Amino acid sequence: MRVAPISGQRLFPRAYEEGADDFDAGSGLRYHRFMPTELSLFDKAAAAAARIRALSPHTPRIGVILGSGLGGFGSQVEDATVIPCADIPHFPQSTVEGHSGNLILGTVSRVPVAVMQGRVHAYEGYPLDAVTFPARVLGLLGCRTLIVTNAAGGINTSYKPGSLVVLSDHINFTGTNAALGPNEPRFGLGPNAGLRFFDMSTAYTPALRAIAHAEAAKLAIPLEDGVYLAVLGPSFETPAEIRAFRTLGADLVGMSTVHEVIVARHMGLDVLGISLVTNFAAGITAAPLNHLEVMEEGRLAETRFTALLKAILPEI
């Protein structure tokens, strides 16, 4: 008896479920049906990492996720392999202007890096598994440090548009958590990682924050410290919400970052967060908020942001 797949049946290299035999009277052949089962999140991330390794010779040590208007840093990567996210299995595709959707592997200041030009957000309709999928893949590629950047609204009025702020902590006001669902210990990349319940008391690694401040001082680049509050979006916040967030201790507000940081800490990665203040938050001035302002401030800050990040990388 010859065994062949049913015509049109899509076969996968992993995770098969045996089904009943089917007999094709026309050909006289008996077919054995293999039904693909849903891959686990870990298997999807491993498949994505395997594809990236096949496309690039680089093994990154540091992963960088670039926020709105900050994607120009990708041009600093030397010996670069540029991989459109659409070419990576299971990778989500950004729909937001200012997030070009490429993964770039190479070196910056002789440090092997993987740079995500842009990210996806929950407000685009993606589940959190997809929002945090690139961070998971960066860890599996070999990154043990994740640098997350974002464009943020300034709640602290001492931060002017164009200010760079190192994140000291965050407040998750999105109403959900990227670690929801079954725990996957295989994502743990070091001691005390991959746990069901994991520590977030130092979500942003103090030693990395110290490096950022030291390098900023050498370059005479003003660098603040601040607490980032994340909302779900996509609407900007109301003035009443901003007043409430200030009372809670927030210095900045945005629609990203915290869930990537949560999964990075679950995996055992060190994290550095840097925000670019692109505008005053709602109600602080009479000006309405718009995304074009975010993009323009990113362009204006690109030189300072690039210089600082290039100085930080070799010190990590």
Residue 35 reports pLDDT greater than 50? no
Q: Note whether 159 and 307 are same-domain residues.
A: yes
In angstroms, what CA-CA distances link 291 with 41, 148, 169, 238? 32, 20, 25, 16
Residue 10 reports pLDDT greater than 50? no
How many residues in the chain? 316
What's the whole-number average pLDDT of the chain?
87
The answer to whether 121 is a known catalytic residue is yes
Q: Note whether 8 and 49 are same-domain residues.
A: no
Residue 32 reports pLDDT greater than 80? no
Phi-psi category of 220—alpha, beta or left, where left has phi over 0 and alpha has psi -120 to 50?
left
Q: Note whether 176 and 276 are same-domain residues.
A: yes
- Of the residues 279, 281, 282, 301, which is catalytic? 279
Which tokens belong to 150?
């974002």
The CATH number of the domain holding residue 250 is 3.40.50.1580
Contacts of residue 172, defined as CB under 8 A and 6 or more positions apart, other chains included, come to: 230, 258, 259, 262
Could you tell me the pTM of the whole model? 0.85
The pLDDT score that the predictor gives to residue 260 is 98
- Of the residues 256, 259, 266, 297, which is catalytic? 256
Beta strands in the chain (DSSP E): 16-24, 29-36, 62-66, 78-84, 102-108, 111-117, 145-154, 164-172, 223-230, 252-254, 270-280
The answer to whether 255 is a known catalytic residue is yes
Q: Note whether 302 and 291 are same-domain residues.
A: yes
Facing residues of 282 across strands?
285
Structure confidence by residue, pLDDT tens digits, 213-267: 999 999 999 999 999 999 999 999 999 999 999 999 999 999 999 999 999 999 9
Q: Note whether 21 and 141 are same-domain residues.
A: no
Domain, as residue range, for 243:
39-315
Contacts of residue 86, defined as CB under 8 A and 6 or more positions apart, other chains included, come to: 93, 101
Number of domains in the chain: 2
The pLDDT score that the predictor gives to residue 2 is 30
The answer to whether 123 is a known catalytic residue is yes
